[in-house]
């Protein structure tokens, strides 16, 4: 996913998420905090061939004023557990999905959809009009997810990913007013 270019810009505000979204599942979508970072990193490492560092997530949580960073948390018998996360950057009137993942055993339950919906609701409140993302050409799960949410393909970056030179598909969702 896209991430390196946008880190140094500092504007905009984000809103913390105190209230979980209504759901039939016992899953809460809430603001990511610094205590979540080790669990988020572990999930990130299980989900991506090029995971982010702990320092990167810490930066998102502590310093990056442009960052909307959420986790999905489930109540288990032995306590709460993080089963998803998303990072979205707000650049003036654009939202960029930097990363998103859901624990393998919780996939296809609508959790990614819920995290994106909440992140884009917050992005819209911060003034975003359009959302961009990049996805590996071979990542069919993610491409299905984005298509279901109304994202359209804008183009291809040939050989973009460092590890296997896979193409990146550029997608956008052009009207965020539906998230008002
Ligand atoms: C991509 C990913 C985040 C999707 O998370 P998820 O919680 O399983 O997605 P959801 O359950 O919210 O799915 C939302 C929609 O996408 C569709 N979808 C998700 N995975 C799919 C798959 N493998 N095949 C077909 N459709 C799929 C669902 O059918 C659903 O549509 P619906 O609500 O109309 O039925 C998850 O597979 C993941 O973490 N992958 C590894 C990390 C990754 O690739 N992140 C994306 C980087 S660009």
Please state, in angstroms and rounded to a whole number, the distance separating the CA atoms of residues 116 and 86. Answer: 7
Within a domain: 123: yes
* Domain interval for residue 60: 4-129
Within a domain: 165: no
How far does Cα 3 stand from its chain's mean position? Answer: 11
Tell me if residue 3 is catalytic.
Answer: no
Strand partners, 99: 87
Within a domain: 158: no
The owner of tokens 């970056």 is 157
Within a domain: 104: yes
Q: How many domains does the chain have?
A: 1
Question: Can you give the pLDDT at residue 1?
Answer: 52
Nearest-CA neighbor of 107 among 141, 138, 74, 134? 141
| Closest ligand 1 atom to 147 CA | 16
Within a domain: 160: no
CA of 179 to the centre of ligand 1 (A): 19
Buried b (16+ CB within 10 A) or exposed e, 164-178: eebbbbbbbbeebee
Within a domain: 159: no
Is 45 within 8 Å of 51 (Cβ atoms)?
Answer: yes
Tell me if residue 160 is catalytic.
Answer: no
Q: CATH number of the domain that 74 lies in? A: 3.40.630.30
* pLDDT mean over 19-47: 84
pLDDT digits (tens, 9 = 90+) for 124-160: 999 999 999 999 999 999 999 999 999 999 999 999 9
Within a domain: 147: no
Strand partners, 131: 95, 173
Within a domain: 179: no
């Amino acid at each position: 996913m896209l991430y390196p270019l946008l880190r140094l810009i500092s504007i905009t505000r984000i809103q913390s998420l105190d209230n979980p979204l209504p759901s039939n599942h016992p899953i809460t979508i809430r603001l990511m905090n610094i205590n979540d970072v080790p669990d988020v990193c572990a999930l990130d490492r299980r989900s991506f061939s090029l995971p982010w560092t702990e320092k990167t997530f810490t930066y998102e949580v502590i310093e990056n004023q442009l960052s909307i960073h959420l986790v999905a948390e489930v109540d288990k018998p032995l306590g709460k557990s993080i089963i998803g996360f998303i990072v979205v950057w707000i650049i003036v009137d654009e939202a960029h999905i930097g990363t998103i993942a859901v624990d393998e055993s919780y996939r296809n339950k609508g959790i990614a959809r819920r995290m994106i919906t909440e992140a884009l609701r917050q992005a819209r409140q911060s003034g975003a009009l359009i959302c961009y993302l990049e996805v590996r050409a071979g990542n069919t799960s993610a491409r299905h997810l984005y298509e279901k949410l109304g994202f359209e393909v804008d183009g291809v970056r040939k050989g973009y990913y460092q590890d296997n030179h896979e193409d990146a598909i550029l997608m956008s969702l052009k009207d965020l007013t539906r998230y008002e």
